Structure 1
Amino acid sequence: MAELDDIDNWLFDNSSDSSQEHEHFLQFSKVFLPCMYLVVFAFGLVGNSLVLVIYFFYQKMKSLTDLLLMNLPLADLVFVCTLPFWAYAGTHEWVFGTVMCKTLRGIYTVNFYTSMLTLTCITVDRFTAVVLATKAFNQQAKRMMWGKVLCFIIWVVSLLVSLPQIIYGNVMYLDKLICIYHNGAISTAVLATQMTLGFFMPLLTMVVCYSGIIMTLLHARGFQKHKSLKIILLVVAMFLLTQTPFNLAKLIQSTNWEYHAMTSFKYVILVTEAIAYLRACLNPVLYAFVGLKFQKNFWKFVKDVGCIPYLGVSSQWKSSEENSKTCSASHNAEATSMFQL
């Protein structure tokens, strides 16, 4: 997924469309995209903040999976915190100055790449934990140490590939003040990087790793097998449904400059971009709340803040943990409980 593709850069170029069609698109964009930004911001803020609170105060970092699952909501949280600025700019104009333009574009882009690279690492980690269970167990301490290095590398790489957005981000006046990124000399390289790190690499990793995981689970025994398979399919489906439309639209747009001036294609870019942003809301659910350990700590948090009665959750989780221990009697059984994080 590209970040805040320079919709505003060609938003006002209506050379191939009637002024009436262009005006209708302007009105639609002023309402639709800011509303979607605010929806993603609200749900993403609550969901990712809740995940981070539970990981910081209730869940000890005992494995590489825990470390990566904390890095993901952190990246998504910073990502969604930039959206209110773009929502205001989409409705009115950019009033935050050049420094904020460069800063917010940089923050937005860094956390987009961090989120997608972390997602890729989580997929590889799950493959290792299930398919190479014995090796992963024996090297758990070493994997934890390298996990911290890996998280640092992810943020550094994300910063490096985001430099064009920071360097060439600027405020321009095109009927109104807008914060845009535009540099024709390196735009192709930037798009290629976005498509590679933001879509094709995570997708290819999911296909390869989850195929291996599914084959392992199909040969394993345990009550968690069918649940794990459903979750895997849900993870892949979520990624495909939210990321494929926008990346496909960007790929098509890059093949012919005429698409930049087509009002109908501007609608496609706008809507698919908004759909792609939904990942920041769905990630907390798919990568944290499905874990039994996380769910247990979530109910502890709910009890501590006094929202609802505990409702006998302790005994429920005790039973789940006993079943989990029974299921973990062999390495194959351990594989089936991969989502009991």
Structure 2
Amino acid sequence: MFSGNMNHITKVEADLASRASSSVEQTGKAPLLVFIRTNTMAEYDHYEDDGFLNSFNDSSQEEHQDFLQFRKVFLPCMYLVVFVCGLVGNSLVLVISIFYHKLQSLTDVFLVNLPLADLVFVCTLPFWAYAGIHEWIFGQVMCKTLLGVYTINFYTSMLILTCITVDRFIVVVKATKAYNQQAKRMTWGKVICLLIWVISLLVSLPQIIYGNVFNLDKLICGYHDEEISTVVLATQMTLGFFLPLLAMIVCYSVIIKTLLHAGGFQKHRSLKIIFLVMAVFLLTQTPFNLVKLIRSTHWEYYAMTSFHYTIIVTEAIAYLRACLNPVLYAFVSLKFRKNFWKLVKDIGCLPYLGVSHQWKSSEDNSKTFSASHNVEATSMFQL
């Protein structure tokens, strides 16, 4: 499968190695070619490291070729897996939220925008998968468009996750106030979602403006600017990792404290879900964000083949958020699962199997729980 591409890859590597050596001799700094599709999992550059491996790596050429072959198989396969799972899961959440939940609460507003962002996000992955195996053949306009779409929806997804966290805090800790101001919260929620999309567009402008197609013996969609890459990295780390992480730590700490003093049989289940949400975020997002920081501050790690394996594996793990969000933020809800079975019945895939009464009973029981026995019925803690 790869034999036909090996000579082509070697030419690219030789060219990049020559440029890397020349740049180091002239400036004392390693050059930077960024193939960056900005998201939390930024984007292993499929080409930037080849020159470094050839020029500065003590590993054998055989190990290097093994890595190239692993990369060309692993990343596109992971992209396609995430694409299929994310497409199905987020499409279901979007359909159910629009046609069955009818935007009855602020949670429903977020559960329309979150899967929409993740859905558009995963729809760009087949293009990057093809480019990873072959080269970029879709032209400069598509390059700028997909970089922009990819980036906008990444930031939107992360900012909405932050808003969901804050909303859970308000619903549980300020239950009475939240219940009495549902209409006002709905209005503000829609305004906030609109602002999130606008902010995401604005912070994505560098990728859209500077994105271009480069011909280094092989067409690459990306941009070649060290200053821009620094700005992009800082924005990614702030909006795509530290902000949602800080919101989760602060809000869920207070929520846990509140739930521990609350009654109701749903308390322990809610706590388990909180810990699950935190664990998934930390396990999927922390490794690659840590690798990004190391990669940007310690160039010497480029000489280690194992570090390159670490980059692409942690990136693939980070992509899983687009598949797991529908489970963590929608399917954990009894009301959502009930509407899922309604959808299954309506499209005629399976008989209804008499589950309506079962779900209704479980939902009625779940409504008895809240931190102050007055949480809005459609909150994310109606689990």
Query: What TM-score comes out, normalization by structure 1 length?
Result: 0.95
- What's the counterpart of residue 51 of structure 1? 93
Structure 2 Cα separation of the partners of residues 255 and 111 of structure 1: 27
Q: Which runs of 4+ in 1 moved over 4 A?
A: 335-338
Q: Secondary structure at the match of 1:258?
A: helix
- What's the counterpart of residue 56 of structure 2? 16
Matches within 5 A, 1:293-308: 293-308=335-350
- What's the counterpart of residue 339 of structure 1? 381
> Against the structure 1 CA distance between its residues 66 and 273, is the aligned structure 2 distance closer, same or farther, given a 3 Å change threshold?
same
Q: Secondary structure at the match of 2:212?
A: strand
Shift in Å at residue 109 of structure 1? 0.7
1:314 aligns with 2:356: yes
Q: Secondary structure at the match of 1:178?
A: strand
Q: Which of the residues 246, 250, 257 maps onto 2:292?
A: 250
1:145 aligns with 2:184: no
* Letter of the structure 2 residue corresponding to residue 88 of structure 1: Y
Q: Which of the residues 90, 102, 117 maps onto 2:144?
A: 102
> Against the structure 1 CA distance between its residues 302 and 104, is the aligned structure 2 distance closer, same or farther, given a 3 Å change threshold?
same
Residues 88-132 of structure 1: CA distance to partner in whole angstroms, max 9, x if unpaired? 000111100111111111111111111000000000000000001
Q: Secondary structure at the match of 2:63?
A: helix
Matches within 5 A, 1:47-126: 47-126=89-168
Shift in Å at residue 163 of structure 1? 1.0
Q: Secondary structure at the match of 1:185?
A: helix
Given that 1:3 and 1:108 are in contact with CA atoms closer than 8 Å, whether structure 2 keeps it comes out as: no
Residues 286-308 of structure 1: CA distance to partner in whole angstroms, max 9, x if unpaired? 10000111111001001111122
Given that 1:67 and 1:148 are in contact with CA atoms closer than 8 Å, whether structure 2 keeps it comes out as: yes
Shift in Å at residue 12 of structure 1? 4.2
* Letter of the structure 2 residue corresponding to residue 138 of structure 1: N
Structure 2 Cα separation of the partners of residues 168 and 26 of structure 1: 27
- What's the counterpart of residue 220 of structure 2? 178
Structure 2 Cα separation of the partners of residues 229 and 184 of structure 1: 44
- What's the counterpart of residue 131 of structure 1? 173
- What's the counterpart of residue 11 of structure 2? none
Q: Which runs of 5+ in 2 are unaligned?
A: 1-39
Shift in Å at residue 27 of structure 1? 1.2
Given that 1:292 and 1:339 are in contact with CA atoms closer than 8 Å, whether structure 2 keeps it comes out as: no
Matches within 5 A, 1:204-223: 204-223=246-265
1:168 aligns with 2:210: yes
Question: More displaced, 181-190 or 49-58?
Answer: 181-190
Q: Secondary structure at the match of 1:340?
A: coil
* Letter of the structure 1 residue corresponding to residue 206 of structure 2: P
Shift in Å at residue 47 of structure 1? 0.4
Structure 2 Cα separation of the partners of residues 8 and 181 of structure 1: 12
Structure 2 Cα separation of the partners of residues 113 and 338 of structure 1: 22
Q: Which runs of 5+ in 1 are unaligned?
A: none
Query: What TM-score comes out, normalization by structure 2 length?
Result: 0.85
Structure 1 Cα separation of the partners of residues 63 and 222 of structure 2: 23
* Letter of the structure 2 residue corresponding to residue 175 of structure 1: D
> Against the structure 1 CA distance between its residues 167 and 19, is the aligned structure 2 distance closer, same or farther, given a 3 Å change threshold?
farther
Question: More displaced, 134-143 or 179-188?
Answer: 179-188
Structure 1 Cα separation of the partners of residues 180 and 260 of structure 2: 24
Q: Which of the residues 28, 32, 42 maps onto 1:3?
A: 42
Structure 1 Cα separation of the partners of residues 282 and 367 of structure 2: 34
Larger gyration radius, structure 1 or structure 2? 2
Q: Secondary structure at the match of 2:101?
A: coil
Q: Cα RMSD between the aligned structures?
A: 1.8
Structure 1 Cα separation of the partners of residues 82 and 361 of structure 2: 36
Structure 2 Cα separation of the partners of residues 236 and 324 of structure 1: 23
Q: Secondary structure at the match of 1:171?
A: strand
Q: Secondary structure at the match of 1:339?
A: coil
* Letter of the structure 2 residue corresponding to residue 3 of structure 1: A
> Against the structure 1 CA distance between its residues 177 and 323, is the aligned structure 2 distance closer, same or farther, given a 3 Å change threshold?
same
Given that 1:29 and 1:270 are in contact with CA atoms closer than 8 Å, whether structure 2 keeps it comes out as: yes
Structure 2 Cα separation of the partners of residues 216 and 26 of structure 1: 51
Structure 2 Cα separation of the partners of residues 246 and 7 of structure 1: 15
> Against the structure 1 CA distance between its residues 259 and 173, is the aligned structure 2 distance closer, same or farther, given a 3 Å change threshold?
farther
Question: More displaced, 230-239 or 316-325?
Answer: 316-325
Structure 2 Cα separation of the partners of residues 292 and 144 of structure 1: 21
Given that 1:221 and 1:333 are in contact with CA atoms closer than 8 Å, whether structure 2 keeps it comes out as: no
Matches within 5 A, 1:150-161: 150-161=192-203
Structure 2 Cα separation of the partners of residues 135 and 334 of structure 1: 9
